Amino acid sequence: MDDRLVGDVNDAVPDLINAMTHPAMLVDETGQVLHVNGAARSQGKDTLETMIGDAFGSASITGDGLDPRARVPIALPFRDTPVDMDRKFKTGTWRRVTSSGTRLRLSSGRRCFLFTAEDISARKHAEREVARNLDRERVLGTIMRVALSPVPQDEFLAIALDQVLSIRWLALGERGALFVLDPGDPRRLRMAAQRELSSGVRETCAFVEVGTCLCGRAARDGEPQFASCVDAQHEVTYPGMRPHGHYVVPMCTHDKLYGVLCLYLNDGHTRDPAEESFLTAIATALASGLERRHKERNLRQAVERLRKTLDGVIGVLSRVTELRDAFTAGHQRRVARIAVAVARAMGLAEARVEGLYAAALVHDVGKLSAPADLLSRPGKLSPAEFGLVKLHAESGHSVLKQVEFDWPIAEIIHQHHERLDGSGYPRGFKGQEILLEARILGAADVVEAMTSHRPHRPAYPMEAALEELRAKRGTLYDSEVVDACVRVCSTDEFREAGD
């Protein structure tokens, strides 16, 4: 007796399977192929084998239909619940093979299972594009974030290289390097970062001449270079070199070359425009990061040169002022030392402390306009003569107001003789009208002047100067400034200098 399907729907089963738009087959639990629908037969043997996949062996069909010998060797147990497996077709298409148990049985009692194969090529392509876009955004985002961080350049490149090598769909050989133009010799490339390269590569390719080998040609021509194997393009070789291929992509932006991205491929890899396009985007991002870093470095160097020039000018002005008044030589430097210590004790930001230091070094520059004999006269000055000396704050402001400092130096100098109650000069400012830096400078100026020798009197001890501040705390001098100044100048370092 033939082994046939049993049940009321047996005769309709083939028609139901044939009605399916996807390739389908009915298989019993021994692997015997019972029926293959038209969709499977029309697409040929390869489609049928793809349906079954390596997990289930293979079957064959003829142009007239199912080969009577067709059988699916059982490599995995059939299951009642559906099992999905994605299989890639030899032509590059993808199918989702689903195996599921049915309620059908043969007359012998063997159970029947249904296999279907849905073409999911479009879905797989979309998923691949989404994955690639996510990888692109992740890698580019990391590169730009690290490029903006303060890490050293070679560390930035090493992190970027790790990110590129982490992209599995690129089918890279998990090895690679980043080269940058050697600042000492722009005719050669320097290996700035590498991953998993042998000692032979690291030594031989530590420096590569522009125009030599794949890396050098990519740098020279500004075009990506590809090799599927070690061929004549590899002009730089070393003993024991393993078979491999390369993508080498120049890192350029605004027609300026910064280096090359060199990635190793498995021997025989096929050149892929999508891979190359992605790597070109990565290389451009790396170039942009390097360009930004170079510009920031050049800007820092320019600012540093300008700062040194400015410091030199301030130093010259300070020394010129002191040359005219031998008795106050060093006064401005000592005032600057006290003022900086007070400012830091008050918690001022370092940028403001720096500006205060510069102002203190030249706070008496206006005395250049005063008669030299008045500055060194041992006797007491008349009101008129003292009035001339008092003009130094106004003169100092006039001298420096045209200079574009990073800080309000001219205004600090203008106000350093103003007092809280409005009794100071030259404009009679009161309270918060006076810059904090000017209030600090004014107190420091009083302490240094009292504790230094003058032609008309000997130096006072430090305690006398501090007592002067305490006595007029809140009236002439800012209370917080006085408190900080007392704390600073009561230390041994300043007390000994004033005694």
Check whether 57 has a pLDDT greater than 50.
no
Q: Whole-angstrom Cα distance, residue 466 to residue 289?
A: 55
Helices 479-489 and 462-471 cross at an angle (nearest 10°) of: 160
Q: Whole-angstrom Cα distance, residue 427 to residue 415?
A: 8
| Greater model confidence, 377 or 87 | 87
Q: Whole-angstrom Cα distance, residue 499 to residue 452?
A: 9
Q: Whole-angstrom Cα distance, residue 147 to residue 284?
A: 13
Task: Read off the pLDDT band of 90 (50, 70, 90).
Answer: low
Selected from 3.40.430.10, 3.40.50.2300, 3.40.50.720, 3.30.450.40, the CATH number assigned to the domain covering 125-297 reads: 3.30.450.40
Tens digit of each residue's pLDDT (9 = 90 or more) over 161-199: 999 888 877 767 788 999 999 988 889 999 999 998 888
pLDDT score recorded for residue 386: 61
Amino acid letter for position 374: L
Tens digit of each residue's pLDDT (9 = 90 or more) over 461-498: 999 999 999 999 999 999 999 999 999 998 877 766 55
Check whether 263 has a pLDDT greater than 80.
yes
Q: What is the mean pLDDT of the chain?
A: 81
Domain boundaries, the chain: 5-119, 125-297, 324-498
* Token pair listed for 9: 């729907």
Q: Answer yes or no: pTM beyond 0.85.
A: no
Tens digit of each residue's pLDDT (9 = 90 or more) over 426-439: 999 999 999 999 99
pLDDT score recorded for residue 308: 74
Q: One fold for both 125-297 and 324-498?
A: no
- Measured from the Cβ of residue 14, the count of other Cβ atoms closer than 10 Å reads 15
Check whether 10 has a pLDDT greater than 50.
yes
pLDDT score recorded for residue 74: 42
Check whether 424 has a pLDDT greater than 80.
yes
pLDDT score recorded for residue 66: 41
Selected from 3.30.450, 2.40.128, 3.40.50, 1.10.3470, the CATH number assigned to the domain covering 5-119 reads: 3.30.450
CATH topology of domain 324-498: Hypothetical protein af1432 (1.10.3210)
Check whether 9 has a pLDDT greater than 50.
no
Check whether 420 has a pLDDT greater than 80.
yes
